[in-house]
A = this chain, B = another copy of it.
């Protein structure tokens, strides 16, 4: 009977492996707080440099407290917040500093189109998304935390 049992184990094992991979079950530790990768999307939608500085402070504090390598941070600027990322931004040096430190900063192209802004009008080092609101929604649906300074 043993050769049969072993064969059955192999078959059942393959089926389990297939079922679990097909159904995308994540290991327990991936769901616990300790082992979970920290990911946070920060919204900037106010045309207020004080808010821009607060958002950049938040990103800096997250990196300082968790270690820059342990947290994914994305700042999404849209609507009146788009001014944060224009060439004449009051926080231009801090944008450069943040992107160099690994913070992803993206501008909303919907907003840019509405304000007749081209990429040549924007700061270096930033990224672009079609719609800031879609990005903010999608990131949350991917499990990112949301922060609106």
Contact = CB atoms under 8 A, between A and B. Distances in A.
A7 interface: yes
B16 A11 contact: no
Interface residues of A, number: 55
A110 B28 contact: no
**Most chain B CB atoms below 10 A, which of A15, A137, A142:** A137
B145 A148 contact: no
Contact of A58 (B22, B26, B133, B148): B133
Interface stretch (A31-39, A84-92, A97-105): A31-39
Contact of A36 (B4, B38, B80, B141): B141
B31 A24 contact: yes
